[in-house]
Amino acid sequence: TRLRTSDSEGGIRARPQISRADFTRLCEKSAAMFSLQAIFGKGDRFYNLLEASAQEAHESVQFLLQMLKSPRESKSLDDLVLTRRKEKKIAAQISEELVRTFVTGLEREDIEALASVLYKIPKAVEKFAERFNLAPPDMRDVDFAPQAEMLEKATAQVLVMVRQLRNIKELEKVKELNDRLQYIEGEADKLMVNLLRDLYGGRYDSLKVVVVKDLYELLEKVIDRCRDAGNVVVQIALKNS
């Protein structure tokens, strides 16, 4: 049907009017477009969750540093436990979103791999903190702060790399960030060798050597998890470049 309206010269002109069938088709098309936008829009959700996971990993190391500087205070350990719970909750959210989401900005296995390795960072940090608190008082004269500071640098670099996922096609930038992470890992390895050399120097009794070596290895595991996270990000970048 058409509506008849007057023009500026007093004549009659017809103005088209949309039919009910056309209106229905237009609504269905708009609904479909909105649905697709909602599906594809969830890609940001995964970026946000992965960044939150990397942030919790970084904060767990910061709390560890506080604990090593003030070992008698229990607040830092409580903060570590809370960080671990947040990380676990984020990992569960990522798994749920993967089940509910049809289209993801990154491949599902890549999201799962990165979420898994990020989850293991605060897990290893908390395990160290628990063992450290269980150690005899005479173990407290061992300075773990230099290693923890390396961990802080490594987790900060991992956080930057995870944020770079939003611009994942910038492959050279990702490689540059990973090179920095590898450098930090190399410096941490050198520090570990020096610490072990001192540990085996004969100044400590056998029990102390065993306990301290176990704690050193737990901190080294955190660095390894950071390296693994960096490698996953690089692999994602290579796939999407």
What would the pLDDT profile of 194-211 be if each residue is shown by its tens digit?
A: 888 888 888 888 888 888
Dihedrals φ, ψ of 13, to 5°?
-130, 155
What would the pLDDT profile of 213-230 be if each residue is shown by its tens digit?
A: 999 999 999 999 999 999
Q: Band of the pLDDT at 29, cuts 50, 70, 90?
A: low
Q: Band of the pLDDT at 106, cuts 50, 70, 90?
A: confident
Percent composition of the chain: helix, strand, coil (DSSP 3-state, to 5): 80, 5, 15
Q: Is the pLDDT of residue 66 over 60?
A: yes
Q: Which pLDDT belongs to residue 38?
A: 42
* Secondary structure letter of residue 143 according to DSSP: -
Q: How far apart are CA 113 and CA 105, in angstroms?
A: 15
Which amino acid, 52? A
Q: Please state, for a pLDDT cut of 90, what percent of the chain lies above it.
A: 45
Provide the terminal-to-terminal Cα distance of the chain, rounded to the nearest Å.
Answer: 53
**Closest by alpha carbon to 72, among 115, 161, 132?**
132
Looking up tokens 């901190």 gives 219
Q: Which pLDDT belongs to residue 18?
A: 54
Q: Is the pLDDT of residue 58 over 90?
A: yes
**Closest by alpha carbon to 59, among 9, 125, 138, 131?**
125
Q: Band of the pLDDT at 128, cuts 50, 70, 90?
A: very high
Q: Is the pLDDT of residue 3 over 50?
A: no
- Written as six digits, the tokens of 15 are 């103005």
Phi-psi group of 46: left, alpha or beta (phi > 0 → left; psi -120 to 50 → alpha; rest → beta): alpha
Which amino acid, 100? R
142 Cβ contact list (under 8 Å, min separation 6): 212, 215
CB 56 within 8 A of CB 83: yes
- Written as six digits, the tokens of 41 are 């829009």
Q: How far apart are CA 211 and CA 205, in angstroms?
A: 10
What b/e string do you get for 183-211 counting C-beta neighbours within 10 Å, with b at 16 or more?
A: ebbeebeebbeebeeebeeeebeeebbeb
What would the pLDDT profile of 129-185 be if each residue is shown by its tens digit?
A: 988 888 777 776 788 889 999 999 999 999 999 999 999 888 999 999 999 999 999
Q: How far apart are CA 106 and CA 160, in angstroms?
A: 18
Determine the longest span between alpha carbons in the chain, in angstroms.
Answer: 109
- For residues 104-119, give the mean pLDDT: 91
